[in-house]
Amino acid sequence: MAGLYIHIPYCTKLCYYCDFHFSLNLKTKAAYISALCTEITLQKEQFTNEVINTIYFGGGTPSVLSAAEINTILTAIYKNYSIADNPEITLECNPDDMSKEYCRAVQSCGINRLSIGIQSFHDEELRILNRRHSGEEAINSVHAALESGFSNITIDLMYGIPNQTMDTWKKNLSVVAKLPVNHLSAYALMLEEKTALHTLVKRGRIYIPEDALTVSQFEYLMQWAPKHGFEQYEISNFARNKQYSHHNSNYWNGIPYLGFGAGAHSYLNNTRFWNISHNAKYIEALSKNTIPQEIEHLSTQDRYNEYIMTRLRTMQGVDKTYIRTAFPEAYFRTFTAQMEKLMEEKLVSEYNSHIRLTQKGIMLSDSIIRTLFKI
């Protein structure tokens, strides 16, 4: 099995915290889609023996695409790749793009999962983030998706938002509890350099909440989730009724994927490669049938670090047998000694030869993962 990722680097408004690759100039969209289709064709040799079980439109804002444009891209994919019978095909959407007509139209193209970037239901928090939608539009978007026939709906929320209190975070989660969504991704807001939010914070116009509040919000989320049918199957991801994201699970399980579009990353055969993060240069290169790419061959140490970093974040955990068989003996010896120490501190536990973070360990996951890295 393998996955495909399609990057749609266009947005209609700048979210203040955003450091992703995107452009607010939609004039090049048609040329970009044409370039994407060329890249999809050029890369097909990479996956001659793979069956694709997930396709993911990420961004940017993929819901700036019309159904006809999505159809064009999916047609190019189906023409060039072998696709599983029931692939998971996800479209990331902004709530205010999601009329019932739009949802029905994208569904008829083959999209069967919607990932809605809500972030908060609280209008003041949305204003601080400079999001396009209101809390009410966010709720309406989920109902529009459901009434259009989507049963596989995930939403994104953020905590650690400036001016967010424990009370408004609890209110956000109480809205989620009543919504017909089967998946939730919740991330702490990261203050990235070169973002508008970073500038506002530096100028003293906005204050980032204390770490202690963000930690308490995450703790509350972990206690809230099981009470409302959500299983925390990865540190930031929660599923109802085992409706895990197959696409993300593929990433965490080291399954190969190809990424198409400006700034998109690919991974296969222990190699990572990524396209230039510049729409005009990407379009220009593809018009000459070349892919503007950089490549990195992963060393044993890189592969080990990546395995630890991704798998320890999942509830599946790190497979000891895999560490013993896939890496040199010295790696396994070091890993075993480190795990004994973490077990004494009750930060990890072992189940069926898999090492998993405990609730206490989850709270310290970043520092634990850092100490386990081979450098």
Residues engaged in binding ligand SF4 (CB under 6 A): 11, 14-15, 18, 20, 22, 59-61
Q: 353 by DSSP, 3-state: which?
A: coil
The pair of three-digit structure tokens given for residue 261, joined into one six-digit string: 């579009």
The smaller minimum CB distance to ligand SF4, of residues 21 and 113, is found at 21
Q: In angstroms, give the least distance from the CB of 273 to ligand SF4.
A: 22
Q: In angstroms, give the least distance from the CB of 26 to ligand SF4.
A: 12
Kindly tell me the number of DSSP H helices and DSSP E strands found in the chain: 15, 15
The smaller minimum CB distance to ligand SF4, of residues 59 and 135, is found at 59
Q: In angstroms, give the least distance from the CB of 298 to ligand SF4.
A: 27
Task: Round to whole Å and give the CA distance between 260 and 274.
Answer: 9
Strands 237-240 and 230-234: antiparallel
Q: In angstroms, give the least distance from the CB of 38 to ligand SF4.
A: 24
From the number of C-beta atoms within 10 Å of its C-beta (0-12, 13-18, 19+), residue 168 rates as: middle
The smaller minimum CB distance to ligand SF4, of residues 18 and 222, is found at 18
Task: Round to whole Å and give the CA distance between 145 and 337.
Answer: 49
Q: Which residues contact 51 (CB under 8 A, 6 or more apart)?
A: 1, 2, 82, 83, 84
The smaller minimum CB distance to ligand SF4, of residues 22 and 150, is found at 22
Q: In angstroms, give the least distance from the CB of 96 to ligand SF4.
A: 11
Task: Round to whole Å and give the CA distance between 213 and 198.
Answer: 19
Phi then psi dihedrals of residue 173, to 5 deg? -70, -35
Q: In angstroms, give the least distance from the CB of 123 to ligand SF4.
A: 17
For residue 317, the Cα-to-chain-centroid distance in whole angstroms is: 19
Task: Round to whole Å and give the CA distance between 7 and 274.
Answer: 11
The smaller minimum CB distance to ligand SF4, of residues 196 and 213, is found at 196
The smaller minimum CB distance to ligand SF4, of residues 14 and 190, is found at 14
Q: In angstroms, give the least distance from the CB of 104 to ligand SF4.
A: 23
Q: In angstroms, give the least distance from the CB of 131 to ligand SF4.
A: 7
Q: From edge to edge, which strands make up the β-sheet containing 2-8?
A: 230-234, 237-240, 183-188, 153-159, 113-119, 82-93, 51-59, 2-8, 257-260, 265-268, 271-275, 293-297
The smaller minimum CB distance to ligand SF4, of residues 29 and 311, is found at 29
Q: By C-alpha distance, which of 192, 188, 187 is closest to 202?
A: 192
Residue 254 backbone class (left: φ over 0; alpha: ψ -120 to 50; beta: rest) = left
Q: In angstroms, give the least distance from the CB of 259 to ligand SF4.
A: 15
Phi then psi dihedrals of residue 199, to 5 deg? -65, -45
Q: How many residues does the chain have?
A: 375
The smaller minimum CB distance to ligand SF4, of residues 22 and 169, is found at 22
The smaller minimum CB distance to ligand SF4, of residues 61 and 152, is found at 61
